Each structure stands twice: as C-alpha cells, then as structure tokens.
Chain A
Amino acid sequence: EVQLVESGGGLVQPGGSLRLSCAASGFIFSDHYMAWVRQAPGKGLEWVGHTRNKAHSHSTDYAASVKDRFTISRDLSNNFLYLQMGDLKPEDTAVYYCARVESGGDDAFDVWGQGTMVTVSS
C-alpha cells in the first residue's frame, strides 16, 4: 500500500526552527517528485516546495514565502522526506502535508499524508 506519514509538528516560538518528517512506503521513492503543501487554519492550500526525482538529481524549488528559510531533503536509504524550517513566523502556522507527485513536471499530487500541525507562537 502506498502511504505517507508525517511527523514532527508542534509548538515553536517565533524565530525558532523545526524539522518535519514524512515516511514514505509502498513505492519507489526516488522515482517521484515529492512536495510539501501547507494549509493555515481556515485557509486554502499553499504549495511550499518540492524535490524532484532521481532523474532530475533531487533538486529543489520553493515558494517565495519560504525561500531561504525552509529546506527540503530526502533520506533515500530509509525513504524519508524532510522539511527543515527556520526563522519561523506566526504566518507559518499551518497543517503541513507531504504529497507525492505522480511522476514529475505538471503531474498531480496523487498521494497525500494525513498532515502534521505546526504552531508558531510565543
């Protein structure tokens, strides 16, 4: 069964850091783009960034709102996706989902995790 399970959310102070994890199973992890998508309370979905597949050297791209503060990486040995978040702001408060891209390029997010909540507050 294809599955994504996020963990690592919690309460963090403004300016702090947090690392989210996403355990992937049931598919060849390196063959797929993987993305992080967030949803602030009562708001819509926002693409955070992605890491491309092995064919594209697992390179990354980020939304302007998180660029230079967030970093996406993979552990290919254990099939984990990470989101390292730094200099956190209250507006980063959201449920963070990891999502699999069907293949790459303009494909859909065909598998989603259940999400993990991040709250940035003093």
Chain B
Amino acid sequence: SYVLTQPPSVSVAPGKTASITCEGNTIGGKSVHWYQQKAGQAPVLVIYYDTERPSGIPERFSGSSFGNTATLTISRVGAEDEADYYCHVWDSSSDHRLFGGGTKLTVL
C-alpha cells in the first residue's frame, strides 16, 4: 500500500522560511493537498493540487511537488503558523485517501 512519510518535527526562527516535506513513491505524479491543524482545532486546507492556495490563505504558504517529494513552504514564519501540518493524496489504485503522519512546526 502507498505510504506518505513526513518528518515528525520542524523548527524555525520567526521571520525565516520553513519547509515541510512529504515523501512518497512518484508523489510528483499525484495531486498533493496540505492541511494545517492548530491545537484543539479541526484541520484547515492550506494548499491543494500541489501549488494552489484556497482563498483566505496567506501568500506566504506555497507548495511544490516533484519526483518522490512534495514540499510545503511557509515564508516569513510567525507564531501564528505553529501547528501540525499534514499532506494528503488520493491513491488511485485503491480509491482510498491517505495522510502523511504529520509534522509539528515549532516557531522558536
């Protein structure tokens, strides 16, 4: 079965750029979506179809995907970005949906 691997944690200083990766076999050929989940809250979609931002999501959030790695990039990180981030793909072979294990972003 298809597996998505994320680093458990990423730390970044305020004002710097954070990159969160999601690895999967030929993930560059799939559509990758990213969610932000703050403590005690429901997830929120921040990037869909690899690079698209929903309305209301700051331009500081961007995404890319190539080969075996998809990446969520957050520029000019602020305290408000501290959260868990999850990648998500659809596995066409099973018609099932998969999440990565999640990455906790800590703003130092």
Chain A residues with CB under 8 Å of chain B are 35, 37, 44-47, 50, 61, 63, 97, 102, 105-110, 112-115
Measured between C-beta atoms, what is the minimum distance from B100 to chain A in Å?
A: 8
Contact yes or no, A106 B92, CB < 8 A: yes
Q: A108-B33, A108-B49, A108-B88 are in contact. Are A44 and B99 (CB under 8 A)?
A: yes
Interface on chain B toward A: helix, strand, loop, or mixed SS? strand
Would A112 and B42 count as touching, CB distance under 8 A?
A: yes
Min Cβ gap B47→A in Å is 9
Known: A110-B54, A112-B42. A47 touches B98 (CB 8 A): yes
Q: Hey, what's the 0/1 contact readout for B67-78 against A, CB within 8 Å counting as 1?
A: 000000000000
Complex partner residue of A44 from B86, B89, B92, CB under 8 angstroms:
B86
The answer for the CA separation of A110 and B57 in the assembled complex, in Å, is 12
Q: Which residues of A contact B35 (CB under 8 A)?
A: 45, 109
Complex contacts, B94 vs chain A, CB 8 Å: 61
Which B residues are CB-close (under 8 A) to A35?
97
Q: Would A108 and B45 be within 8 Å (CB), given that A44-B86, A45-B86 are in contact? A: yes
CA distance A106 to B93 in the complex (A): 12
**Alpha-carbon distance between A77 and B30 when the two chains are bound, in angstroms:** 35
